[in-house]
Amino acid sequence: MSTRALADDLAAIVGSRHVRVAVAERVTYAMDGLPTHRRLPDVVVLPGTREEVIAVIRLLAALGIPSVPRGAGTKKPPSVSSLPIFASSFPTSKNTRATG
């Protein structure tokens, strides 16, 4: 699946305003507290409700695309409204999760 097709599928769930595909938008999410672990996600999606989070995770799981949820970068548990989900369209086994 292409990144554009994935972004379109995610936008159908959360709206296009809440899907990030531009490099300048995704670079913010390339690393967290561990600067030695950096990976630019193919897509960043910002679900706003519990139902959107569930739908996004179900879609990514059905497609076999790894995802990494991230809080606000504050080391506090994420709320639904601050839960970016990174997706990588690189094929992996179903038991492998991408690391950010």
Token pair 């639904």 is found at 80
- What is the sign of the dihedral through the CA atoms of 87, 9, 24 and 69? negative
Distance in angstroms (rounded) separating the CA atoms of residues 44 and 39: 12
Encoded tokens for 34: 């561990």
Distance in angstroms (rounded) separating the CA atoms of residues 98 and 79: 21
Q: pTM for this structure?
A: 0.71
Token pair 């076999």 is found at 64
Please report, for the chain, how many H helices and E strands are present, in that order.
3, 4
Q: Was domain 3-31+38-87 assigned CATH 3.30.43.10?
A: yes
Q: List, for residues 59-96, the tens digit of each pLDDT value.
A: 999 998 888 787 655 555 544 444 566 665 544 444 34
For the chain, which residues make up each domain, given as ranges?
A: 3-31+38-87
Q: List, for residues 6-64, the tens digit of each pLDDT value.
A: 999 999 999 999 999 888 888 877 776 666 777 788 888 989 888 998 999 999 999 98
Q: What is the DSSP letter of 32?
A: S
